[in-house]
Amino acid sequence: MLSDLEKKIIALLQGDIPVTKRPFKVLAEKIGITENQFLEVLNGLNDRGMIRRFGATIKHQKSGFKANAMVAWKVDEGQVEATGKIMAGFDEITHCYRRNPAPGWDYNLYTMVHAQDEDACYAIVKKIAKAVDQDEYTLLFSKKELKKTSMKYFED
């Protein structure tokens, strides 16, 4: 069970976190509590496994990255874990997932690459492919962003 205060804090964290030296102080003030109270509740939620991580979404287009590609890789199942760890270690990789292959689509490992242009994406993927000794992959370039939102568990 979550208390009303915990729900309020989770609702605040679903939105944008203020870009300031003390973002939790700003959020705490919105619901009339101290920064320390906010952090105590947040730490309690973390200790209970209710909140496991914080993520940030950067608008890559505004950061100078004009191209992004999901790379679908065909990796031997016995090598997925090790290969994925190596791939995830590359700064150019922002996401790395193992998924089940589908009929007619044998790819089981997926990475996301952002770069200045499509040629740069290809160059990055070639470098990664060489590092993990994989040559079966395909790049799926984004053409248009249709939706990008975070999960909402509680309303403000």
User: Percent of the chain scored above 90 by pLDDT?
Assistant: 65
Q: Please check whether residues 10 and 33 belong to one and the same domain.
A: yes
Domain assignment present for 120: yes
pLDDT band at 149 (very low <50, low <70, confident <90, very high): low
> Which DSSP symbol is given to 22?
-
Q: Confirm if 95 and 113 have CB atoms less than 8 A apart.
A: no
Give which of 111, 104, 114, 124 is closest to 83, Cα–Cα.
111
Domain assignment present for 155: no
How big is the chain by its Cα radius of gyration, in Å? 20
Q: Please check whether residues 137 and 64 belong to one and the same domain.
A: yes
Q: In the prediction, which pLDDT does 59 show?
A: 57
CA distance 52 to 118: 34
Q: Please check whether residues 81 and 136 belong to one and the same domain.
A: yes
Domain assignment present for 148: no
Give which of 104, 105, 123, 103 is closest to 113, Cα–Cα.
123
Question: 77-127 pLDDT, tens per residue?
Answer: 999 999 999 999 999 898 899 999 999 999 999 999 988 899 999 999 999
CATH (domain of 104): 3.30.70.3460
Q: Please check whether residues 39 and 92 belong to one and the same domain.
A: no
Q: Confirm if 115 and 92 have CB atoms less than 8 A apart.
A: yes
On the question of pLDDT at 134 being above 90, the answer is yes
Q: In the prediction, which pLDDT does 62 show?
A: 56
Q: Please check whether residues 17 and 84 belong to one and the same domain.
A: no
Domain assignment present for 14: yes
DSSP state string for 32-85: T--HHHHHHHHHHHHHTTS---------GGGGT--EEEEEEE---GGGHHHHHH
Dmax over Cα atoms in the chain, in whole Å? 56
Residue numbers of the domain that contains 94 = 60-141
On the question of pLDDT at 54 being above 60, the answer is yes
Q: Please check whether residues 75 and 134 belong to one and the same domain.
A: yes
Q: Please check whether residues 79 and 135 belong to one and the same domain.
A: yes
Give which of 49, 47, 50 is closest to 6, Cα–Cα.
50
For the chain, the domain total comes to: 2
Q: Please check whether residues 72 and 126 belong to one and the same domain.
A: yes
What SS3 state is found at 106? coil
